Amino acid sequence: MSTETSTELTLVRHGRTIWHAENRYTGVSDVPLDEVGRAQAVALAEWASRRHFDVLVCSPVPRAVATAAPVAATTGLRPEVLADLREVDFGIAEGRTLAELRETYPDAAAAFVADPVANPFPGAEPPAAAAARAVVALRDVADRYRGRSVLVIAHNTLLRLALCQWLGIPLSRYRAVLPRLENAAATRLRVPADTGAPPALLALNVPTSPAVTADEPAPTAGRTA
Chain segment 111-133, per-residue pLDDT in tens? 999 999 999 999 999 999 999 99
What is the pLDDT confidence band of residue 78, given thresholds at 50, 70 and 90?
Answer: very high
What is the pLDDT confidence band of residue 101, given thresholds at 50, 70 and 90?
Answer: very high
What is the C-alpha separation between 152 and 68, in angstroms, rounded? 9
Of 14, 20, 155, 182, which residue is the catalytic one?
14
Among the ranges given (31-35, 129-133, 192-196), the one the predictor scored with the smallest mean pLDDT: 192-196
pLDDT at residue 82, rounded to an integer: 98
pLDDT at residue 25, rounded to an integer: 97
Of 87, 94, 125, 182, which residue is the catalytic one?
87
Decide if 14 is catalytic: yes
What is the pLDDT confidence band of residue 211, given thresholds at 50, 70 and 90?
Answer: low
How much is the average pLDDT of 190-198?
93
What is the C-alpha separation between 168 and 37, in angstroms, rounded? 31
The pLDDT of residue 216 is above 50: no
In this structure, CATH architecture of domain 6-90+126-213: 3-Layer(aba) Sandwich (3.40)
Determine the 3-state secondary structure of 102 from DSSP.
helix
pTM strictly above 0.75: yes
Determine the 3-state secondary structure of 87 from DSSP.
coil
What is the C-alpha separation between 225 and 113, in angstroms, rounded? 9
Average pLDDT of the residues of the chain: 93
What is the pLDDT confidence band of residue 106, given thresholds at 50, 70 and 90?
Answer: very high
pLDDT at residue 181, rounded to an integer: 96
What is the pLDDT confidence band of residue 220, given thresholds at 50, 70 and 90?
Answer: very low
**pLDDT > 70 fraction of the chain, expressed in percent and rounded:** 92
Q: Which residue has the higher pLDDT, 3 or 100?
A: 100
Binning the chain into helix, strand and coil, the percentages to the nearest 5 are 45, 20, 40
pLDDT at residue 2, rounded to an integer: 44
pLDDT at residue 42, rounded to an integer: 97
What is the helix (H) or strand (E) element at residue 151, kind and residue range?
strand 149-154
Among the ranges given (165-169, 195-199, 212-216), the one the predictor scored with the smallest mean pLDDT: 212-216
The pLDDT of residue 85 is above 90: yes
